Structure 1
Amino acid sequence: MLSDNVYQEERIPTQLERFWRSYRSNSLSMFGLWCLGFLILITLLSPFITPYDPMAQSSNLLVPPSWDPEGTVDFFFGTDDLGRDILSRIIDGSRLSFGAAVIITAIATLVGCLIGILAGMTRGLLSSTLNHLLDTVMSIPSLLLAIIFVAFLGQVSSISCWRSASR
């Protein structure tokens, strides 16, 4: 069919469509997406799919996991030293872990956007200070920054414990 269209396709795909085609063609990225979806599904359905109450203690202390010859299928991952089902505790703990990660990411995004907006919209000393602060933060690797942050909090808490103990 003859056409006066210079492009091979009838419709030019958008940037999002081209990204999705590229993403979908990578099997490792699709595996990661399916794992994330599965984790979100487990997190949302965790109150309904836990086999036992995660906080309930029982007389089944330190039952080994089901793949151990002495383990049972009733407690798939076994129980802890208080008789609580480990699988139920892992499923229930996913809500806290995933929720905390989402909240921390949202807060970091909000703070970063606010600092970036302030740095871009202001002039003079404030703009220069904010830009240098952001350059400094971006130059430090995130793992090292987390280690420094935890060490600082540990030192602050040990100093406050030392002060309260010396009184």
Structure 2
Amino acid sequence: MSTPTSSVATATSAVDQSLLYPSPYKEFWQAFSKNKGAVAGLMFMLLVIFCAIFAPWVAPHDPSEQYRDFLLTPPAWLEGGQIQFLLGTDELGRDLLSRLIQGSRLSLLIGLSSVVMSLIPGILLGLLAGFFPKAVGPTIMRLMDIMLALPSLLLAVAIVAILGPGLINTVIAIAVVSLPSYVRLTRAAVMGELNRDYVT
């Protein structure tokens, strides 16, 4: 039968262990929260994501509606600006803030789609190059080296020129340009783990 003293000692030991060995998520957040720039960037990204998801309700005006009486209106804080058009209007009288908010949906879609399209094959190719360094590893890595040797923008423009203009082709071009980074990172992680003592 355990005594109150032993129970208190066990609880104290558990608390000490939690303080000495915090969870990976808690440890990451402690380090992340100390970087003010990273926290500000996270807040900005959350704001962009919020505006992209709720764009129809957040945007103050219809992004395609034209206000003929307010063509090229400057931002509200400048002389001649209107408070109802916080960032002003374009040459057709459309509210710039509303168009930016609506455009964030497309930007977020392109970014997420291109990351997913490059992340999945990048991880698979990196795993193949890491686990089979003599069979397919050199071929995959030489191909990635060739892609890295070309300027990213030039390669993306060439892919779009071959496939033709369009949203899907743009996503494919960005994904292809980003592919070598994921392949190299995955291969490096695999090679590092394969050299550990616990791997037989």
TM, length-normalised to structure 1: 0.75
Structure 1, unpaired ranges of 5+:
158-167
- Matches of residues 52-91 of structure 1 in structure 2 within 5 Å? 52-59=61-68, 60-91=70-101
Q: Distance in 2 between matches of 1:41 and 1:34?
A: 10
User: Residue by residue, what CA displacement relative to the aligned partner does 1:101-135 show, whole Å, maximum 9, x if unpaired?
Assistant: 0111111101201212332444655332013323x
User: Are 2:152 and 1:146 equivalent residues in the alignment?
Assistant: yes
* Matched AA of 2:44: C
Correspondences of 1:42-57 after superposition (within 5 Å) = 42-57=51-66
Which residue of structure 2 aligns with residue 117 of structure 1? 127
- Aligned residue pairs total 154
| Structure holding more helix per residue | 2
What's the C-alpha RMSD, in Å, of the aligned pairs?
Answer: 3.2
Is 1:96 equivalent to 2:106 in the alignment?
yes
Alignment partner of 1:32 out of 24, 34, 41: 41
For 2:42, what is the secondary structure of its paired residue?
A: helix
Aligned positions of 1:131-142 closer than 5 A: 131-134=141-144, 136=145, 140=149
Q: Distance in 2 between matches of 1:95 and 1:117?
A: 33
Compared CA separation, residues 124 and 115, structure 1 to 2 (3 A):
same
Using the TM superposition, name which of 40-49 and 13-22 deviates more: 13-22
- Flag structure 2 segments of 5+ consecutive residues without an equivalent: 164-200
Identity of paired residues, percent? 29
SS at match of 2:26: helix
Shift of 1:57: 1.9
Matches of 1:131 and 1:116 in 2, distance apart? 9
The normalised TM-score by structure 2 is 0.64
Query: With CA pairs under 8 Å and 6+ residues apart, which has the higher RCO, 1 or 2?
Result: 2
The separation in 2 between residues aligned to 1:146 and 1:58, in whole angstroms, is 40
What residue number does 1:14 align with? 23
> Which amino acid in 1 is paired with 2:155?
F
How far apart are the structure 2 equivalents of 1:32 and 1:40? 12
State the one-letter code of the partner of 1:93.
G
Matched with 1:161 is: none
> What letter matches 2:73 in structure 1?
V
The Cα offsets for residues 3-35 of structure 1, whole Å up to 9 and x where unpaired, read as 699999232212222121111222222222111
